[in-house]
Structure 1
């Protein structure tokens, strides 16, 4: 489980996110560029706000491109923006596992694992390759150290096959 490159975001998902960010920037900044950024504030402000959101998506996608999570003897190596951080097993104080549905019948969606270690809070999503193995190790840690988790987190770990 400690081989290099363990837990990368899939290239297809990153490519799709990059295209969404580029398309969103084109749709929001394009009209402003056509009028020479002389648009009325009622038009310019929402377009600039949208451009900011799509710019953030593009930066987040770039940061994930180089991110690779690893499980080591000492802890988890996790992405934090454009940097990688070590969340040591003995410093982890809180864990949350949330499911975000994209459909009413809850058939589509993703999970987000949030780990609190020291003053930091780090999140990874289920589209990450190796997510199940990382979640399994975190579930073991919760049981070993008897960390408090809420009912939703317990239920979501159980849905992955990890009893708490």
Structure 2
């Protein structure tokens, strides 16, 4: 069995951005006591930043395990299933720029109602994608064109 986590060094930027966002929105409310429309706007943005901190913390605490039998993810919830139960395999690429550079991939595997999703910042992401792809092939799952193109980008055939 191999265990995989998110490297804290890759999450520092998320923690810093979200923390600064919370400070930049909550501090003016506490110090200046603005009128309610401005306070509501700043408070809403502050809550969004808090949500981002919480999501980053969950990612930080997440552990993904794979072996020849199946996959599991442990974090706030634990989800696991056998590779033979795999019913969906999607690999998507997301970019914030039009040039499609500096993006990230996200793998979603599903069995019945159980879904596991994680992004390419997870250590040994390609190893996990290879193993999940092998299971998808063994289960004769149809892969959409986007997933196939992203597999080719990772040199997984």
1:27: Cα distance to partner? 0.8
Specify the SS of the correspondent of 1:7: strand
**TM-score, with length taken from structure 1:** 0.87
Contact 1:136 1:162 in 2 (8 A): yes
- Superposition RMSD on alpha carbons, in Å? 1.7
Match of 1:16 in 2: 13
Q: Does 1:74 align with 2:69?
A: yes
Q: Write the deviation string for residues 83-107 of structure 1: whole angstroms up to 9, x where unpaired.
A: 3321321332111111012332222
Structure 1 distance, partners of 2:108, 2:41, is 31
Specify the SS of the correspondent of 2:121: coil
Structure 2 distance, partners of 1:104, 1:114, is 24
Is there any run of 5+ residues in structure 1 with no aligned partner, and where? none
Kindly tell me the number of residue pairs found equivalent between the two proteins.
Answer: 157
Is there any run of 5+ residues in structure 2 with no aligned partner, and where? none
Runs of 4+ in 1 over 6 A off after TM superposition: none
Structure 1 distance, partners of 2:151, 2:137, is 12
Q: Does 1:131 align with 2:128?
A: no
Where does 1:1-164 land on structure 2 (aligned, <5 Å)? 2-3=1-2, 6-36=3-33, 39-79=34-74, 82-163=76-157
Contact 1:67 1:84 in 2 (8 A): no
Structure 2 distance, partners of 1:91, 1:41, is 52
Structure 2 distance, partners of 1:8, 1:47, is 34
Structure 2 distance, partners of 1:135, 1:8, is 14
